[in-house]
Structure 1
Amino acid sequence: MVDEPGAVTQARPVVVIGNFDGVHRGHAELLRDAQAAEPGAPLVVVTFWPHPMSVVRPDQAPPLLCTLERRTELLREHGASDVVVVEFTPEVASWSPARFVDEVLRPLHPARVVVGENFRFGFRAAGTVETLAALAGDDFAVTSVPLLTDGSQPSSSTLIRQAVAEGDLGRVRELSDHAFRFSGVVVKGDQRGRELGFPTANVAVPPGMAVPADGVYAGWVTRLDEPDAPRWPAAISVGTNPTFDGLERRVEAYVLDRTDLELYGVPIAVDFYARLRGQVKYAGVEALIVQMHSDVEHARQVLHASSLAL
């Protein structure tokens, strides 16, 4: 094919494949290696939604660290010029490695495909890096990247999920280079916080999404419906409100020193920074109010110290 005079030839992209749940340090390293392998080429990320395990083995599907929108945002922050989402269905799960290459990769016309060294694809994960290279032929190059480790274990979404489940937010930041974020639309709760002087923005915890262990945390709240919205410091509760015999698990965030916010129906992000204490059932409202004042001051001190450390 001969380009017409004056035509601009689009560089063939370098393509990276993976689930990328949480977009942790290992994922970021993979994207950097891909960019270094093809300097100046567009970086296209291929990811899957929903998580393949939720289709192949639903009883073993892991809780997701972030929404697809958040995953896409983080991938673009790490240099992706485009994010291609493959809808993972039972039919896609049945594809052979060759069909996966023909249906997903060849239409992207990659110059190179970059994957982690443990990459598997196709029906029953039959395809390996070697399989991919053989199927690529002379059409595109294939590069595998060693897994990033913390000195003992590979950085992985599994380790981050474990840290989130334990409420170990410092460990989460070590593995991912960012705070754990939980997002959703603010719903009307029992309004007890408002009555107690601590109005909260309540977000339900949907099935299949990771959330920190029950307890009280310091963190931040950001509106997602306004560009350049401020990040508000907050005291955050995760749990069921055992003092009031609650049953529904949810995230409740009190923005420090703000009683004027109207956030019902607003999408927000709740960024968890540090765990302050576990969930406790108090003997009465008075004891709970005393503890809430203590939690707010503790959160204020922790977040102030975090800003000085930046």
Structure 2
Amino acid sequence: MERGAAGAAAAAAAAALSCTFRSSSPSTSPAPQWRPLLGFRSRSRVRGPRADAGAPRLLLPPGRRFSYCSQSKLLGMDKGQNRCSLATFSSFRQTGISMNSEDVLKDKLLIDCGEDQDCVIDGIVALGKFDALHIGHRELATHASKAGTPFLLSFVGMSEVLGWEYRPPIVAQCDRKRVFSSWAPYCRNVVPIEYQVEFSKVRYLTPRQFVERLSRDLKIRGVVAGENYRFGYKASGDAAELAKLCEEFGLSAFIVQSIMDTARSHNGVSTSVNSSDKGQVSSSRVRHALAMGDMEYVSELLGRKHRLVLKIKEAHLQERKKIVLPKSCMLNMPPADGLYENCDLVSGVHLGLCRVIINSETIDIVMKDGNSLSPNTIQEDQQLGIEFG
């Protein structure tokens, strides 16, 4: 989970493993069993959905058949469940001391689930950083939706805890739900839900302790992770260990192959952007493309246009066809300074086509094709979005 750890592919060959999810409908026929695809790397292009999107690698508890969950059986949770009687378990899985309500709130894993962590009960949780919400992240959500209700578990506060230099997010926090909604057609028409965990609460957990908390506190059905996923203190666990621990704790583990970026390769070798880059679609690759101002490439990696969100803090210069805003209004990472044609200005609704000039201090938005702005278009505390074509 910590930056700089080398991304390791899942370990060498493993026996074929499988798992059962009981459907709420007895007439539902089981899906065919899938073989683990250890040592195989997908070479899908970043343009469009993957051709092999229906065949993730599965590393699952042995001795059972695998079938898809019925969509009619989603959470099946009781929001009125009394968490005061929740029993804790040691790493040896022995019953410990019961926790009272105050202890549960203090020790709970999720920070945006109210008082009750059963909001993800029986769901499938995709694990990752989920900074860019690129097509590789969408792939994890897609596979999670095939086996149950898809959730994303992301970590907040990593920069502060690890002393990293601040970097603006690729996707503005206020814009993440819109992106997840756009994933619904890939996720059996279900919008994935994101929950967040304070990194400080899990930083020192060993891989075993981390999986134990997922099983004990969240009562999830299984996890989805990429083949290069690292977790545990100092990123000591890899995808193979995740699968092994999930089997021990009765969880399913879906290990998904990376989507490889072959669209921008040179002589068959993709340009690396850091030491852990093996040519896969990644948030680092998106940041690099943004820094170069290559918005066509950014769109390929994201599977959508990049939206720069601006928060209007006070009245700024506005003419009938032009808005000038300081860079301090930005809520996420912009492309490199320069001129960008064929952009869209949005604020709840589409306001029109525009050209955007980004310089060292300001963002100049010039409306095109005769579009003009009414005097009251831009208000204080309003949010504007610029989508780069």
**TM-score (structure 1 length as normaliser):** 0.70
Match of 2:304 among 145, 161, 178: 178
Instruction: Tell me which amino acid in the other structure corresponds to 2:347.
Output: R
State the Cα distance separating 1:189 from its structure 2 match.
6.7
Separation in 1, partners of 2:232, 2:330: 27
Percent identity of the aligned residues?
23
- What's the CA shift string for 1:179-215, capped at 9, x where partnerless? 1111021244763x63xx6430525347994211111
Contact 1:20 1:71 in 2 (8 A): no
Cα 1:251–1:97 change in 2 (3 A) is farther
Cα 1:81–1:176 change in 2 (3 A) is closer
- What's the CA shift string for 1:152-177, capped at 9, x where partnerless? 42111111111111111111111111
Aligned partner of residue 388 in structure 2, secondary structure:
strand
Contact 2:225 2:256 in 1 (8 A): yes
Separation in 2, partners of 1:234, 1:267: 16
2:219 corresponds to which residue?
109
Cα 1:261–1:92 change in 2 (3 A) is farther
1:16 corresponds to which residue?
126
Contact 2:152 2:195 in 1 (8 A): yes
Say whether residues 1:202 and 2:328 are aligned partners.
no
- What's the CA shift string for 1:98-128, capped at 9, x where partnerless? 3322334543322221100111112111121
Match runs of 1:278-293 below 5 Å: none
Between the two proteins, the alignment pairs up a number of residues equal to 245
Cα 1:208–1:100 change in 2 (3 A) is farther
State the Cα distance separating 1:231 from its structure 2 match.
4.3
Match of 2:169 among 56, 64, 71: 64
1:235 corresponds to which residue?
355
Contact 1:47 1:83 in 2 (8 A): yes
Say whether residues 1:161 and 2:267 are aligned partners.
no
More moved, 137-146 vs 125-134: 125-134
Aligned partner of residue 356 in structure 2, secondary structure:
strand
Match of 1:125 among 235, 244, 248: 235
Separation in 1, partners of 2:173, 2:137: 15
Instruction: Tell me which amino acid in the other structure corresponds to 2:217.
Output: P
Instruction: Tell me which amino acid in the other structure corresponds to 2:131.
Output: D
Contact 2:124 2:150 in 1 (8 A): yes
Say whether residues 1:267 and 2:354 are aligned partners.
no
2:194 corresponds to which residue?
83
Match of 1:222 among 342, 346, 365: 346
Aligned partner of residue 110 in structure 1, secondary structure:
coil
CA RMSD of aligned residues (A): 2.6
Separation in 1, partners of 2:316, 2:239: 53
Cα 1:138–1:49 change in 2 (3 A) is closer
| Greater relative contact order structure (CA < 8 Å, 6+ sep) | 2
Separation in 1, partners of 2:74, 2:328: 47
Aligned partner of residue 258 in structure 1, secondary structure:
coil
State the Cα distance separating 1:71 from its structure 2 match.
2.7
Aligned partner of residue 322 in structure 2, secondary structure:
coil
Aligned partner of residue 126 in structure 2, secondary structure:
strand
Separation in 2, partners of 1:203, 1:72: 26
Contact 2:140 2:225 in 1 (8 A): yes
2:11 corresponds to which residue?
none
State the Cα distance separating 1:261 from its structure 2 match.
4.3
Unaligned runs of 5+ in 1: 1-7, 241-248, 274-310
Unaligned runs of 5+ in 2: 1-72, 77-121, 185-190, 263-269, 271-278
Match of 2:362 among 250, 256, 271: 250
Aligned partner of residue 230 in structure 1, secondary structure:
strand
Runs of 4+ in 1 over 6 A off after TM superposition: none
Cα 1:205–1:32 change in 2 (3 A) is same
Contact 1:222 1:268 in 2 (8 A): yes
State the Cα distance separating 1:48 from its structure 2 match.
1.9
Instruction: Tell me which amino acid in the other structure corresponds to 1:210.
Output: M
Instruction: Tell me which protein shows more helix as a share of its residues.
Output: 1
Separation in 1, partners of 2:310, 2:74: 42
State the Cα distance separating 1:63 from its structure 2 match.
4.1
